[in-house]
Amino acid sequence: MQRIPTLEPMVPAGAEPRMRLRFLALIERNFALIKRYIGWEVVFVFYNIVNALCIAFIGVTQGKGHVLYLVIGALIWGFLSLLFHELAEQVQWERWEGTIEYSFMAPMHRLTYLLGNCFYAVVYGVLRSALLLGVLVLFLGLSLKGANIAGALVVLVVSGLSFIGLGLIAAILPVLSTEKGAQASHIFQAVILLISGVYYEVDVLPAWIRSLSVASPATYTLRAIRAALLEGASFKELAPTILLLAGIGIVLIPVGFAVFSLAERWAKRTGKLKRSG
């Protein structure tokens, strides 16, 4: 099969503003898709609220002290799941629509394309998590008196950087497989759910699994947000974890981009970008 040449972006001097505009245009496009399919978004948000309520009611049976602990786990899990879903879904959607080859040959740096979709997912995830927390607090009558809500939001935003790196790695699956690639990204989510202490402390895990929790950024995110909301930890107390999450993101984003680039080159070489590939 003859290899289809790619168009390298020609970036003349002074073109940086246009690159920023492309980055913002991707975010705007994705929010426009939310408005277009607002009915489905309402369904998904409603499902997340009901799912979090079910988990919270499990905490009610164990005592009021466990409710907010489980609610925080549900919020972080919803945020993480959204990032993985959106990144994989964007690639799979374009494959099904037959536009992915055009997107990948467009005069736009691949990093601009990927990070535009990634930052949209982070912004949307933070907004949806804040909405979900507000609804749960009102519905369950939870008290956030003394909680450092601003600190929790900062931790959530910074942790998005590390989750972006993982999401870029998971996004190679729909590149490699048209039909079930996006669904296969749930493998990453399942592993993180198991080892990160989303609904329980990692201390209850077997020793060989517990050692893996150190490598999961979700472990540190959960600890920091629980400290901010349950114990009112200050920004000074949260700073080491925030810096750690930022460092993990700085490492994982280039790694994720490199892995995605390798998968893209393989897909082009083998003709896998085509829907029938």
What pLDDT score was predicted for residue 148? 92
| CA atoms in the 13 A half-sphere facing the CB of 77 | 24
What pLDDT score was predicted for residue 12? 46
What pLDDT score was predicted for residue 163? 84
- Which residues of the chain are modeled with pLDDT < 70? 1-20, 63-65, 88, 92-93, 95-107, 177-184, 272-277
Looking up tokens 């893996």 gives: 212
**Hey, what's the torsion of the CAs at 257, 260, 265, 271, to 10 degrees?**
-150
What pLDDT score was predicted for residue 6? 42
Domain ranges of the chain: 25-270
What pLDDT score was predicted for residue 13? 45
Looking up tokens 């909680």 gives: 147
Q: Which of 174, 204, 203 is nearest to 187 (CA)?
A: 174
What pLDDT score was predicted for residue 245? 93
- Cα gap 18→172, rounded to integer Å: 27
Quick: pLDDT tens for 160-218. Answer: 888 888 888 877 777 776 666 666 677 778 888 889 888 888 888 888 888 889 888 99
* Integer-rounded Cα radius of gyration of the chain: 20
Distances in Å between the alpha carbon of 129 and those of 18, 52, 134?
A: 31, 11, 9
What pLDDT score was predicted for residue 221? 93
What pLDDT score was predicted for residue 9? 44
What pLDDT score was predicted for residue 65? 64
Q: Which of 70, 237, 218 is nearest to 148 (CA)?
A: 237
**Residue 119 corresponds to which tokens in the numbers above?**
């930052």
- Which residues are within 8 A (CB) of 39 and not within 5 positions of it... i.e. 6 or more apart? none
Tell me how crowded residue 55 is: count the other CB atoms within 10 A of its CB: 18
